[in-house]
Amino acid sequence: MNCERVSPSLMRGSLGHSHLLGIRQEPAQAGDILMTTDAALLAQAARGEQGALVRFYEWACPTVSLGFHQSEEILEHDAMQREGVPWVRRPTGGAAVLHSEELTYCLILPPDHPFQSDRSALQHTGQALTQGLCALGIAAELVPRGHPSENLPDRTSCFVRTSRWEVCVQGKKIVGSAQRLLNGALLQHGSILCGPDHLRLVQLLRLPSLKVRHDLSSRLRVASTSVAEESGQPFDMMQLRQEMAQAFQEEFAIASNVLAI
């Protein structure tokens, strides 16, 4: 992807109010508050009360989230209690994530937005995420097709396999995303990995054998990476937030203008 910034003068056009992307930089909060807020924003967008919005946030403490349809039986509750790690259920689908050392984005699109289809949102969000990482000197690339679905353990951890339009660095996944549609409105949120603590998820899952646990741990290490690992130096979370906000603003304004022609 071309990592050059586009002039703000090219981002002006006749966009409807609900199409203009609002941006919120929010502080770290508990996982249940974060997920409740995401779900509430989706419901508001479905009722026509919320326009296009992306918010960026961190988690107050390491927290496991499960996909909307994922059974909590996958969790090793004793291990989670020992580690002091709570869990929440996401309003979106997908597999388990340990939210720690990451920046999370939450994208809300109302039903009449040009990108409200799941495929279009994945593509344009992926392009924004890639652009933001490129601005930090990370050789991120968008993967249009992803990997085919496989049996366990791929269904247990989000970062073991790459889905369509996800962001990787040299084949390793650095952002994991999930979606939900509600009456035409769309919620997409995802984890931008900033450090290696997501690997600890394997110790918090109930798996059938030590071999499966070892195999999943090995695959997760091979399949994923982080901002810190790829930059090779301490990263600035505020800079990451700023670069992502600018990349989303540019991608959504430019692409919306193109679609409106």
Average pLDDT, the chain: 85
Tokens of 205: 């899952």
User: Does the pLDDT value for residue 89 go beyond 70?
Assistant: yes
- Lowest mean pLDDT: which of 124-133, 157-166, 236-245? 157-166
Q: 166-223 pLDDT, tens per residue?
A: 899 998 999 998 999 999 999 999 999 999 999 999 999 999 899 988 988 888 888 8
Using alpha carbons, select from 231, 256, 229 the residue that is nearest to residue 243: 231
Report residue 161's pLDDT band, with 50, 70 and 90 as the boundaries. Answer: low
Residue 3 is a catalytic residue:
no
CA distances to 52, 109, 120, 241 from 248, in Å: 11, 13, 14, 11
> Of the listed 3, 106, 134, 158, which one is catalytic?
158
| In a domain? residue 32 | yes
What does residue 152 show for φ and ψ, rounded to 5 degrees? -50, 145
Structure confidence at residue 3 (pLDDT):
53
User: Does the pLDDT value for residue 92 go beyond 60?
Assistant: yes
Number of domains in the chain: 1
CATH number, position 83: 3.30.930.10
Q: 2-50 pLDDT, tens per residue?
A: 454 443 333 334 444 457 899 999 999 999 999 999 999 999 999 999 9
SS3 label, residue 60: coil
DSSP class per residue in 91-155: SS-S-BEEE-SEEEEEEEE-TTSTT-SHHHHHHHHHHHHHHHHHTTT---EEESS-PPP-STTTT
| In a domain? residue 8 | no
| In a domain? residue 4 | no
| In a domain? residue 141 | yes
Positive/negative CA dihedral, 234, 24, 190, 71? positive
| In a domain? residue 10 | no
Domain with 27, as residue range(s), is: 16-260
| In a domain? residue 3 | no
| In a domain? residue 70 | yes
Better pLDDT: 115 or 22: 22
| In a domain? residue 1 | no
